[in-house]
Amino acid sequence: MAYSIVVVGTSWGGLNALRELAGALPADFRIPTVLVQHRHRQSDHLLSTFLQERTTLEVAEVEDKMPIEPGTLYVAPADYHLLVDRGFFTLSTDPPVRYSRPSIDVTFQSAADAYAAGTIGVILTGANSDGSRGLRRIFDRGGLALVQDPATAESPTMPTAAIRCVPSAQVATIATISAKLVELSADGGSAARHGRGDHPLNSPAHVAGPGNA
Strand partners, 186: none
**What residues contact 177, with CB distance under 8 A and at least 6 apart?**
21, 122, 146, 148, 201
Burial class (CB in 10 A: 0-12, 13-18, 19+), 42: exposed
How many residues appear in the chain? 213
Identify each DSSP E strand in the chain by its residue range.
5-10, 33-37, 58-61, 72-75, 81-85, 88-92, 119-123, 144-148, 170-172
CA distance linking residue 189 with residue 31, whole number of Å: 10
What is the Cα gyration radius of the chain? 15
Q: How far apart are the first and last CA of the chain?
A: 31
Phi, psi of 53 (to 5 degrees): -70, -10
- 128-140: buried (b, 16+ CB within 10 Å) or exposed (e) per residue? bbbbbbbbbbbbe
Catalytic residue numbers, as ranges: 11, 38, 130
